[in-house]
Amino acid sequence: MSRVRIATRQSPLALWQARHVGALLASHHPGLDVSLVEMTTEGDRFLSAPLSAVGGKGLFVKEIEQALLDGRADIAVHSLKDMTSVFPEGLMLAAVPEREDPRDAFCGLNGVTLDALPQGARVGTSSLRRSCILRERRPDVEIVSIRGNVQTRLARTREQGLAGALLAYAGLKRLGLEDVITQVLPPEVSLPAVGQGVLAIQCRTEDARVRELLAPLEHPTTRIAVTAERALLAKLEGGCTVPLAGHATVSGDAVFVRGLVGRPDGTRVVRGEVRGPVSQAHALGEALADELLSRGAADILRDFARRTGARES
């Protein structure tokens, strides 16, 4: 009997995502032997330090990818949002299932919404993108860095008496925590991160057996959107270590891509959008990146890199 071993982190969200993909696989391939390979990554061990200080998004992903390359697992399930624009040699993004709701959500204490935040309120997030977008609107708001898995961030928000926290709607939904949401933010208000709400299923490029098993999980519309978003990301170099947003939607034969680069304190924000045929998704994402760069994003990124110190690894 054929088997598939799924490498995953052990946070409740990561486990939910890996089990979800396991269930999808089993539903398409009755009798398939699906198991989880649970791992602790460097990112999990340094959860208390700011992500930008410990080396960025690759941290959660690298060790899982090594397990795939070593043959200790057959596929890995990640949040696409946590993945850098370049994949290691030998691994591919074999399937992207249908996207979950990509919007950000405000989780206010005592029912407070983002719109009704009192002057000078303290809001929890460790996302430079969310900080940039919120501070642009509300320069009076103080950003408090909260790290850890979703439940930990919500606990810190309560413990520290913050007015609320900004989190991804998708993660809260998957964990059954929608109750804590007081306001879901449309992309016009909070442009989502590249890949937000999308699961990335990775496998070895040469593993034809597993690629075939994964084929039915692929959602073509989601693939088009993430192709555009990740083309934008690649050109802007990014990671979650720069304040960057990118979001694409598909309607019929057209793809609409929006992007944003800004300072974490919201004092400068450059936005842009492009529209074109879905066949041009990659080129449209790149074109939008070029446009943002020429309209000020290049300066913002350069200043930001200088201030935080280059830490490309």
Ligand X SMILES: NCc1[nH]cc(CCC(=O)O)c1CC(=O)O
Tell me the catalytic residues.
82
What SS3 class is residue 130? Answer: helix
Least distance (Å) between residue 247 CB and ligand X: 12
Tokens of 152: 């930990």
Return the number of the residue (143 or 150) whose C-beta is nearest ligand X: 150
Residue 279 vs residues 177, 223, 228: alpha-carbon distances, Å: 37, 11, 10
Running DSSP on this structure, what letter comes out for residue 245? E
- Residue placing its CB nearer to ligand X in the complex, 150 or 269: 150
Q: How far out from the chain centre does Cα 85 lie? A: 12
Q: Could you tell me the smallest distance in angstroms from the CB atom of residue 80 to ligand X?
A: 7
Alpha-carbon dihedral sign for residues 270, 183, 173, 15 = positive
**Minimum CB distance to ligand X, residue 204 (Å):** 23
CB of 197 to ligand X, least distance (A): 5
Comparing CB distances to ligand X, the nearer of 124 and 285 is 124
For the packed helices 150-159 and 12-28, what is the interaxial angle rounded to 10 degrees? 150
The site for ligand X (CB under 6 A) is made up of 79, 81-82, 150, 167-168, 170-171, 196-197
d(CA 23, CA 34): 8
**Closest to 225 in 3D by CA, of 246, 204, 203:** 246
Residue among 79 and 227 whose Cβ is closer to ligand X: 79
Q: How far apart are CA 49 and CA 292, in angstroms?
A: 31
